Amino acid sequence: MTARVLWYNATLATLTHGAPDGWGLVPNGALLTEGSTIAWVGPYVDRPAAAAGAREVNLGGRVVTPGLIDCHTHLVYGGHRANEAEMRANGASYEAIARAGGGIRSTMAATRTASEQVLYDSARHRARALMSEGVTTIEIKSGYGLSHEDEERCLRVARSLGQALPVDVRTTFLGAHALPPEYEGRADDYISAVCDWMPPLHAAGLIDAVDAFCETIGFTPAQTQRVFEQARALGLPVKLHAEQLSDQGGAVLAASYGALSCDHLEHLSTAGVAAMKAAGSVAVLLPGAFYMLRETRVPPIASLRSAGVPIAVATDHNPGTSPGLSLLLSAHMSCIFFRLTPLEAIKGITVHAAKALGLYDRGMLAAGMRADFAAWDVSHPNELTYWFGQNPCRRVIAAGAERT
């Protein structure tokens, strides 16, 4: 028999569509869960007959939100790049460091030499840091192996994390992240190799989505399109690192393939906004990279709002340009740097982050949703983007089970 639990004595921030205040606040609220699913949400006094006999858990009057979702991370890699942060502090640009053999290639070398156990242990530590702040779903990209064998190892580690930890892990194949040295001057040949690796990796159950880095220091729109064509042939959804350093028209291209999301977007054009709106693609903002790279050009937030493009926020955790491990800090920075409202930022790490992963069973507190939620020592959910440097998360329930 499926276990039923009534979680009560909480202010619920349901974040459901059409809520009058946006937050969907339910004072003195309760949730009834059956196994891994939310069966009912509402005021405690209106609890249904089905709650009779359920195990009851007092949430202590805390604010409860959906479990947080980090929809863009590069969690599996070897080494770190603190030396490059020092180089940037001394005046070197991101592009100059990359062209000098640093950047992604530097992490590729460290990743290739690391054992699978070392990769797993370090990624597990990072995942637990995110989980401690109420994260219940994490997207993890490959892209630091840049060979069939090493991309497979990184994806396998990501899958293992989801199997070993009480967090749902979605894997994204990012073979088209950078050009490895053995393909120097042969970018088209490398893209052919990436496309060849995709079918066996997918057949092994290692890929949930496909991504690429479409940029002057990454891959051209034509090369990106070849990757997307292979993804389409395999029935895999696509995402794109788009318009981070320049406008390459990546968002328009990605939208033509029905992209789940386009991410970064500091140089997104009006045409890109319109294409994303038409395709239903989510705009994923990555304020950690914006901050780390000391960027000054912000994504076109007003245009995205006006068009009704859903806006998500993620850590973009990676060793070079966003080594942070706090989704709450990313949400805070999205309000400070990009002028998101607290409600936009919180929806950006819940309901819209879920959409960016093609997931529609989480991100809100509603009957039928996955029972992922977190309880916070705050008086209103807007405090989650106000405080920084502390963690107010007190309880996390993932798929109906409380983490210990």
pLDDT at 103: 85
Q: Give ranges for CATH 2.30.40.10 in the chain.
A: 4-66+364-402
Q: What percent of the chain has pLDDT over 90?
A: 93
Tokens of 28: 């003195």
Residue 195, pLDDT > 70, answer yes
Question: Strand, helix or coil at 336?
Answer: helix
Q: Distance between CA atoms of 204 and 142, rounded to whole angstroms? A: 15
| Mean pLDDT of the residues in the chain | 97
Q: Distance between CA atoms of 134 and 376, rounded to whole angstroms? A: 9
Q: Does domain 68-356 have CATH number 3.20.20.140?
A: yes
Residue 98 or residue 231, greater confidence: 231
Residue 1, pLDDT > 70, answer no
pLDDT, average across residues 12-27: 95
Residue 333, pLDDT > 90, answer yes
Model confidence pLDDT, tens digit, residues 284-323: 999 999 999 999 999 999 999 999 999 999 999 999 999 9
pLDDT at 58: 98
**pLDDT-based confidence at 224, cuts 50/70/90?**
very high
Residue 93 or residue 152, greater confidence: 152
pLDDT at 98: 75
Residue 395, pLDDT > 70, answer yes
- Triad 140, 146, 149: Cα angle to 5°: 90
Q: Give ranges for CATH 3.20.20.140 in the chain.
A: 68-356
DSSP, residue by residue, 200-234: HHHHTT--SEEEEBBSTTSB-HHHHHHHHHHHHHH
Phi then psi for residue 276, to 5 deg, are -65, -40
Model confidence pLDDT, tens digit, residues 260-282: 999 999 999 999 999 999 999 99
Model confidence pLDDT, tens digit, residues 162-188: 999 999 999 999 999 999 999 999 999
Phi then psi for residue 33, to 5 deg, are -110, 145
Q: Distance between CA atoms of 27 and 142, rounded to whole angstroms? A: 42
- Residue 251 to residues 221, 238, 259, 304: CA-CA distances in angstroms? 10, 11, 9, 13
69: CB partners within 8 A, 6+ apart: 135, 136, 137, 138, 349, 350, 353, 354, 357, 359, 362, 363
CATH, domain 4-66+364-402, list 2.30.30.100, 3.40.1480.10, 2.30.40.10, 2.60.40.10:
2.30.40.10
100: CB partners within 8 A, 6+ apart: none
pLDDT at 301: 98
Q: Distance between CA atoms of 108 and 193, rounded to whole angstroms? A: 17
**pLDDT-based confidence at 46, cuts 50/70/90?**
very high
Q: What residue type is assigned to position 204 of the chain?
A: A
Range list of β-strands (E), 88-234: 135-141, 168-176, 209-212
HSE-CB of 6 using CA atoms within 13 angstroms: 20
pLDDT, average across residues 194-209: 98
Q: Distance between CA atoms of 285 and 24, rounded to whole angstroms? A: 24
pLDDT at 97: 82
- State the helix-helix crossing angle for 187-203 and 148-164, rounded to 10 degrees: 40
Question: Strand, helix or coil at 351?
Answer: helix
